[in-house]
Each structure stands twice: as C-alpha cells, then as structure tokens.
Amino acid sequence: MSMNKAQLVTWLGKLNDVYAEKKEYLTELDAAIGDADHGINMNRGFGKVMEKLPTVEDKDIGTILKTVGMTLMSSVGGASGPLYGTFWMKGGMLLAGKDELAADDFVQFIEAGVGGILQRGRPELGDKTMYDLWAPVLEAMKDEAGNASEVIAVVDAALPVAEKALADTIPLQAKKGRASYLGERSIGHQDPGATSSYYMIETLRDVLAG
C-alpha cells in the first residue's frame, strides 16, 4: 500500500495536534539543555503550516512538502526552523509532481530530509541531536524498503529503532548548539529535537494504520 496525498494532509494535521499537546513537555526537555523554546517553536510552526495547508492541499505531494518546509523555515526559531524546514523542503524538491508515494518514494523523501539535516547542521552520530534518531531510522527504512514493502511496513520497522535511538540520546554529552555549552551537565537529558522527530514517525504510524 502506498501513501496518498490525503494521508499526508492528515499526518500534518495530527502533527499539529501532537505538537500542541506536547508543547510543555518539549519545552521542559529544552529547558534542561537548551533555550526552553522547542515546544513553543514546534507548536507555532505547525500552527502556521495549518494556516497555509488549505492553499496547497489540492496540489501534488512535492508542493505540499515544500510549503511545509518554507513555512517552518520562516516561522520556527532557533536551530529547529532551518533543520526541519530543510528536511521537508528537500523531500518536496525530490517528489515534485507525485500524488502518492510507494515505499521507495517514501524512503527517498526521508533520505533527502536527513541529507538536509546533515547539510544544515553538520551533525555527527553521538552529538546528541535529532540526527542520532534519524540516522538509524533511515537505515531501518532502507532495509525494509529493500523487501518491496508497503509504506506502513517501512514505518513499522522504523518505530522501535526510533524508540531506542531516542532513549540512547539520554546518556550522550551534547556537542552541538546551546546544549554543548553545558558540557557534562548535558548528560542524562533526552534530546528535544530527537523527541519531536520521534513524534513525526509515531504519528505517521497512527495515520497509516487508520
């Protein structure tokens, strides 16, 4: 089963709900090692996405993704805006003209997005960033898509990997951004960006499962 445009639009709407619900929690995570604004920023950004979505939801998937990226880029503060904005925009550029995504298309979207994170933030594994979640998730998705699976199977394969990767950020010492200023004091805290990224995967699983 492929992923269609209606499911993409539903995913974005549910992400808006999740980031509104988790705003305080994400901000608490960020208060421990960052600027205490990650939840506020993600909530604001996806609120703006919801305002823009009606103008493009009848367009192709690439256009929708690019609009999400540009909206996040212009409305989300800190490092999250450029990183998430680039993630969605790179996928949009790759998938121009498509109205549904097969498993391979979906994995290419994620791969382009992760490439955008690397290009923008230049993280390495172990830096305690969202990349520590996306790198293993991408590999799990590639492995599953190699079996010519449905998109939901690709997401299913990635979800437990994402859960482990999220927990694995807790003992890391931050080496990027504001959190890196804390040195060893950043150890013992879950990374906020990895957490908001985890919600993307978890929410998509719920949408695809119906």
Q: Which pLDDT tens digit goes with each residue over 71-125? A: 999 998 778 899 999 999 999 999 999 999 999 999 999 999 999 999 999 999 9
Q: Which pLDDT tens digit goes with each residue over 132-181? A: 999 999 999 999 998 878 999 999 999 999 999 999 999 999 987 777 76
Give the Cα separation of 174 and 185 in Å (integer): 9
User: Each residue of 96-109: b (16+ CB within 10 Å) or e?
Assistant: eebebbbbebbbbb
125 phi and psi angles, rounded to 5 deg: -60, 135
CATH number given to 3-209? 1.25.40.340
State the DSSP code for 183: G
Instruction: Locate the domains of the chain by residue range.
Output: 3-209
Tell which residue, 94, 93, 71, 96, has the closest CA to residue 81: 71
Q: What is the pTM of this model?
A: 0.95
Using CA of residue 180, residue 195, residue 12, residue 42, what is the dihedral sign? negative
**Distance, first Cα to last Cα, the chain:** 13
